[in-house]
Amino acid sequence: MIIGLSRTRLLASSYTARSILLRPSFPSVRYLQQQSTDNNFLYINNFQQLQTKISDIHDTINETNIIDALKSCKTIYTQYPIQQKLEPNSKLIRGTNEIIDTIFNHDNNNIPFSQSLLKQILLLNLPTISNLKLINLYYDKNPSKSTIIDKSTALIALRNAINNAEFERAIKVSDITVGHPNYIEHNNQILKSGLIRLIGTSLAITIMSKFGANFLIEVGELSSGWRHLGSLNSMILTYFLNSSFFITIVRVGRQLISSGGDYLTWQKGTFYTHWFKHADEMLFCSKIVEADRELNGGENNPALIHELCRENDDTITLQHTLQPGYTRDGQKIRLLEAKDNLEDIRMQAYWMSGGDGFEWVEPDQDPAEIIWKDHLSQYTNPTIDSDNNTNNDRSLKWADDLIDSK
């Protein structure tokens, strides 16, 4: 009996000690209530209800309201088939775009559309069609020619598009971010400022070497024989500065051309300054080509390569260097060129050598690639649109099971 009591007390004391240790890790009910009431767009089931909730806001809209409203869009997405994220005229896309228009055209929305706000919105991983709308809206709200979207922010939208295998829209993301005229002009200004500094430095050295030598001769510190050598010294210094400048341009250009990886390079005749100004654009396009090859078993999609590597349709040109621009049909010329497929080169070398020096091995299974392909398979699985009615989803589940069984 005493043993039983002592064991009971021991269990009770250990339970009490355990509860005391675990108690600080659980939030209080007051904290949960405060956290749940911070979001004004909870428990919304459709886009119309969300749009009405946003229109009824009488206070000034802040960044938190914008993010919470767009987060509610993702909650509503669960009522739609996932394939509607890729369809431009689907109810999901139309509803999302209407919410975006309602937010940024609201009478009480006086908050500037900053790049930090754009980055927060892009991190929500909305459909790529809506992301393109948001990026264009960002330029409309910031019409200055100095308005750019930095590479880190643009990569968020690009990765979202590539993750869903929306390669054509990923090209559009590249065109309106790192390929935008404002971004190209920003890189051009960086190049110009570096050139101006170089010229200013060379002029300063030339002036100091020439007039400085004359001053030392007049003072008597140097002999008169150094008077003509001063001009020669300035010529030598100018030569070395110019040579070092062009060598730097070539080396930087070679590093920038490597941004295309094993997939893209610049067309012959493209000047070095173009390499610098469009290096990030090549990087984005090479990521698109790389992902496309992964899905096509190592082969290029001809339509995608034609879009990225389009050439000028004028067969006769008097220009010695190629210039980016647009064709007569308004299609963009990026001056990119596809590299030879390394897998095809290896296969040719294998057949030409009769297999000597080659060994057949099983390809490595990348877990990230498996997860990516499983994600893409969700967009190809057939589903039935239930007109946003959850009850119909349950009643028509037998149809989905029947399709899967086929």
pTM > 0.85: no
The C-alpha angle with vertex 251 and arms to 246 and 256, in degrees rounded to 5, equals 120
Is residue 149 situated within a structural domain? no
* CA–CA dist 113, 371 (Å, integer): 35
Same domain, 127 and 187: no
Same domain, 202 and 332: yes
Same domain, 374 and 331: no
* CA–CA dist 93, 380 (Å, integer): 18
Same domain, 53 and 198: no
pLDDT for res 251 = 59
Is residue 57 situated within a structural domain? yes
Same domain, 227 and 336: yes
Same domain, 199 and 335: yes
R_g (Cα) of the chain, nearest Å:
32
pLDDT for res 300 = 85
Same domain, 280 and 207: yes
Same domain, 295 and 192: yes
pLDDT for res 322 = 74
* CA–CA dist 218, 58 (Å, integer): 80
| Averages of pLDDT over each 10 residues, the chain, 406 residues | 39 38 40 49 86 82 89 92 93 95 83 92 96 96 94 96 95 96 92 77 66 63 60 63 63 58 85 86 93 87 92 58 80 89 75 76 75 85 53 52 60
Is residue 158 situated within a structural domain? no
pLDDT for res 261 = 73
Same domain, 187 and 299: yes
| Whole-Å CA distances, 368 to 115, 160, 165, 289 | 30, 15, 15, 18
How crowded is residue 209: how many other Cβ atoms within 10 Å of its Cβ? 19
Residue 102 domain boundaries? 44-143
pLDDT for res 236 = 66
Is residue 159 situated within a structural domain? no
Is residue 378 situated within a structural domain? yes
Is residue 172 situated within a structural domain? no
Same domain, 135 and 218: no
Count of structural domains, the chain: 3
